[in-house]
Amino acid sequence: MPPVSEPAAKTQTIQTKVEVTSVKTFPAMIKCGRRFAALNVILSLTLAGYAADVQTYGVGKGQVYFQVDTNAPTFPLGYIFNAFVDLSPASNLVTSATVKLPDQSVSNLVATPDGTEWDLVGTFFSQPTLDSAFTNGNYLLTMNTVHDGTRTATNPLTGDLYPAGAPRVSNFDAAQMVNAANNFLLTWDAFAGGSSTDLIRVQLMNDTSELVFATPRKPGAPGALNGTHTSVLIPAGMLVSGQTYQGDILFFKLAFIDTNAYPGAVGVGAYFKQTHFTLATAIGGAILSEPVRSSASTFQFRLTGMAGQNYTIQATTNMSASPGWFTVFVTNAPANSFIVVDPGATNSRRYYRAFN
């Protein structure tokens, strides 16, 4: 069997290494802050002509799922309540914030380190425990601001208007072998019952929990996704080759929206479903594996990359001398993973590489 060559720039030679990425447990995955399901990462509306200290505030309940393969996630991994006050892009314009629950108990919201948000987040392992701790009803938010004084607003959260289904990444396999040097179109199943007044949010985090990609949190903003969208383009160069990213797709239904209680700010009550998934980038854009000499003149291997992408497959009989690399053929990948057959592999030694 021909030996395996070392990778050149933007190429990947045949290899058999398999990497397994660990899966975070629910308590680690669903943590406080803007990067997961806390509603403050999702909704931030502003009204022209008024610079309020607060941009968006409100309450929400969510169900969190985890997609591990091409199948749709079937049952929630966890449940979330979130009361929030969002100042972004400004910071430190709120000195304190509280929320009065329907049972009349009062809880303090906590500021994020950068001072752009105040949050109260509760995570649960069942819907009944979530609903027991945070019943449907009226939630009274009190916000002490630097320029607007003390503002109070009641946000109803009623109806259990959760989206009918959890988001499902429809090109999950392709998302596990993304060429970071090219644009990547992430796709998902349609939001059942979704409309232009609903909101979809997509975000990706790297292994140090930094947000590296996110669709706008402001409904109607350029690039924002409403409930009719089924894809988003991740631009070339946004991601790094050979990395695994933690992604989230969130479907939101607004049960309540108010632009009057706090002029210049928007209050909301919402229900959402969130699907967590991984997205991985290929090393050099393609992976070659499963080398087999099927006859004296035929050699084959598997190329894993991106369906529809053009790949150039090259070979050489000598890595350090003439004649050097020559093109065996160029192919438009029929699938994310497919068999490449070289019918002219009569040499005793031949190296292969693929690139796009």
pLDDT digits (tens, 9 = 90+) for 106-149: 999 999 888 888 999 999 999 999 999 999 999 999 999 999 99
Q: Are residues 194 and 139 in the same domain?
A: yes
Is 80 exceeded by the pLDDT of residue 292?
A: yes
Length of the chain: 356
Q: Are 215 and 201 in contact (CB under 8 A)?
A: yes
Same domain, 258 and 291: no
Non-local CB neighbours of 9 within 8 Å, separated by 6+ positions: 284
* pLDDT > 90: percent of the chain: 44
Average pLDDT rounded to a whole number, residues 8-19: 32
Q: Is the pLDDT of residue 51 over 90?
A: no
pLDDT score of 37: 38
The CATH number of residue 323's host domain is: 2.60.40
Residue 74 lies inside a defined structural domain of this protein: yes
Residues 136 and 205 placed together within one structural domain of the fold: yes
Q: What angle do CA 335, 337, 341 make, to 5 degrees?
A: 100
Residue 9 counted as domain residue: no
How many angstroms separate the CA atoms of 354 and 356, rounded? 7
**Alpha carbons 170 and 37: distance in angstroms, whole number:** 21
Of 259, 280, 301, the last residue of a domain is 280
| 306 and 218 co-located in one domain | no
Q: What's the pLDDT score for residue 121?
A: 94
Domain boundary among 280, 302, 334: 280
The separation between the first and the last C-alpha atoms of the chain, rounded to the nearest angstrom, is 25
Residue at a domain's end among 224, 258, 280: 280
Whether a cis peptide bond, with omega within 30° of 0, leads into 89 is yes
- Same-domain check for residues 276 and 242: yes
User: Which amino acid type is present at position 226?
Assistant: N
CA 262 to chain CA centroid, nearest Å: 32
Residue 149 or 199, more confident: 149
The answer to the question of residue 235 being in a domain is: yes
Q: Which of 181-185, 186-190, 204-208, 292-296 has the lowest mean pLDDT?
A: 292-296
Which residues form the domain of 234?
31-280
In a domain, 10, yes or no: no
User: What are the angstrom distances between the C-alpha of 300 and each of 54, 124, 303, 327?
Assistant: 61, 51, 10, 15
Q: Mean pLDDT over residues 201-223, rounded? A: 82
* 270-298 burial code (b ≥16 CB/10 A, e <16): bbbbbbbbbbebbbbbbbbbebeeeeeee
**227 and 319 co-located in one domain:** no
- Of 107 and 218, the structure prediction assigns the larger pLDDT to 107
In a shared domain, residues 265 and 305: no
Q: What is the pLDDT, as a whole number, of residue 219?
A: 64
Render pLDDT for 341-351 as a digit per residue (tens, 0 to 9).
988 888 777 88
Task: Indicate the pTM of the whole model.
Answer: 0.65
